């Protein structure tokens, strides 16, 4: 047995269909009396539902969360929280809304109660992001970890099938990379394997029948575990490439993750043979060398666009991404090799399977 370090994350999770209705009790448990409700403009009606559920404990709704937390939006939200004398934030939505809650928490220390409605996993991490002058900075701060998280599968049925598929594969990427992380440990690896199994087993049904609460529950369970993986151990080449594709070429976050994952996993299949054999088994195969094609097949089954060219990567994107990634690599079981990375991204550019 290898030696390892395992650090548990202090958050309370309430999971199940209809659990939204425990919100008032959970706010009380936090000792809060004036909750500021955060949403995107698109989910404002959901914010109103929350305000109605909370009654007097609602201090107001701030429906202005947008992708990547621009600093101006964060500052305006912080000012609103102070003006309303809020003593906690209820962030209901995807990673963008929870990210806005984190921006408030890191400044004021207000506790966050998160109600995720996508599979992104931000609610399980101490990672925050803020965008200033078109540059996104990320960091860790224990204050931004939500104190309570309510996962209610009924709230995610409205996420369109295509976005659900990409968001689910974004979660899958956290779990796959956790298996071969530099600081991997047996507890997180168990969660990662279970996450991959739950996501692979439920996402096809989610895409076929987005209203199926059972399938939504299983996929949300997988995404929860994947979020713990992301928050607990370091990520590797796949996340480095996706951050570069998002930051330099503005590729959509979840779709880029979904399309790159089969290639990144295949890149590591020899150097991380044992961890990736676990991933293969969770995907219905046996051997590490199958992981890339199993993930590619799953993407295909989910109707995910796998050609990076179709989501905005130009022809010179693979070379540029490989160059930037190799200039400041993350830990990875197989070293970053510029030529091999360029060639795998060229395959991804055209939507070819990993090889």
Ligand X SMILES: NC(=O)c1ccc[n+]([C@@H]2O[C@H](COP(=O)([O-])OP(=O)(O)OC[C@H]3O[C@@H](n4cnc5c(N)ncnc54)[C@H](O)[C@@H]3O)[C@@H](O)[C@H]2O)c1
Question: Using CB under 6 A as the criterion, which residues of the chain lie in contact with ligand X when the complex forms?
Answer: 40, 42-43, 67-68, 93-97, 99, 117-118, 120-122, 125, 127-129, 155-156, 158-159, 167, 230, 253-254
* Cα-based torsion angle of the residue sequence 162, 165, 171, 174 in order, rounded to the nearest 10 degrees: -100
The minimum distance between CB 65 and ligand X, in angstroms, equals 7
Residue number with the shortest CB distance to ligand X?
Answer: 95
The minimum distance between CB 231 and ligand X, in angstroms, equals 7
The contacts of residue 90 (CB under 8 Å, 6+ apart) are 23, 27, 35, 36, 37, 38, 50, 54, 112, 113, 114, 115
Q: How far apart are CA 258 and CA 203, in angstroms?
A: 13
Nearer of residues 243 and 263 to ligand X, judged by Cβ: 243
Nearer of residues 219 and 306 to ligand X, judged by Cβ: 219
The minimum distance between CB 122 and ligand X, in angstroms, equals 3
Q: How far apart are CA 28 and CA 45, in angstroms?
A: 23
The minimum distance between CB 67 and ligand X, in angstroms, equals 5
Contact between residue 239 and residue 268 where contact means Cβ atoms under 8 Å apart? no
Nearer of residues 118 and 219 to ligand X, judged by Cβ: 118
The minimum distance between CB 119 and ligand X, in angstroms, equals 7
Nearer of residues 146 and 354 to ligand X, judged by Cβ: 146
Taking CA atoms, 19 is separated from 50, 99, 150, 152, 213, in Å, by 12, 22, 7, 6, 13
Q: How far apart are CA 182 and CA 145, in angstroms?
A: 22
Nearer of residues 40 and 321 to ligand X, judged by Cβ: 40
């Amino acid at each position: 047995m290898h030696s390892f370090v395992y650090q548990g994350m202090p958050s309370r999770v309430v999971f199940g269909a209809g659990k939204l209705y425990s919100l008032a009790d959970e706010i009380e448990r936090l000792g809060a009396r004036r909750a500021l409700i955060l949403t995107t403009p698109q989910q404002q009606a959901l914010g109103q539902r929350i305000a109605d559920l909370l009654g007097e404990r609602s201090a107001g709704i701030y429906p202005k969360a947008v992708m990547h937390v621009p600093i101006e939006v964060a500052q305006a939200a912080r000012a609103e929280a102070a003006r309303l004398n809020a003593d906690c934030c209820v962030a209901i939505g995807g990673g963008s809304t929870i990210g806005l809650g984190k921006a408030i928490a890191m400044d004021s220390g207000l506790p966050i109660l998160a109600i995720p409605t996508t599979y992104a996993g931000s609610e399980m991490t101490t990672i925050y992001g803020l965008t200033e002058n078109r540059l996104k900075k990320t960091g860790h701060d224990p204050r931004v970890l939500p104190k309570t998280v309510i996962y209610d599968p009924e709230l995610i049925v409205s996420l369109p099938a295509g976005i659900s598929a990409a968001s689910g594969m974004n979660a899958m990427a956290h779990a796959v990379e956790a298996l071969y992380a530099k600081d991997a440990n047996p507890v997180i690896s168990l969660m990662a394997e279970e996450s991959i199994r739950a996501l692979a087993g439920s996402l096809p049904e989610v895409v076929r029948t987005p209203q199926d609460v059972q399938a939504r529950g299983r996929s949300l369970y997988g995404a929860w575990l994947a979020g713990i993986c992301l928050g607990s151990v370091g990520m590797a080449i796949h996340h480095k490439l996706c951050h570069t594709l998002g930051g330099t070429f503005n590729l959509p976050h979840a779709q880029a993750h979904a399309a790159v994952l089969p290639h990144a996993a295949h890149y590591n299949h020899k150097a991380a043979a044992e961890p990736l054999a676990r991933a293969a088994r969770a995907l219905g195969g046996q051997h590490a060398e199958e992981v890339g094609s199993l993930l590619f097949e799953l993407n295909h089954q989910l109707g995910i666009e796998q050609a990076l060219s179709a989501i905005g990567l130009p022809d010179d994107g693979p070379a540029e991404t490989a160059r930037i990634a190799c200039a400041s690599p993350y830990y990875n079981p197989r070293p970053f090799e510029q030529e091999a990375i360029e060639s795998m991204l060229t395959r991804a550019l055209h939507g070819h399977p990993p090889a």
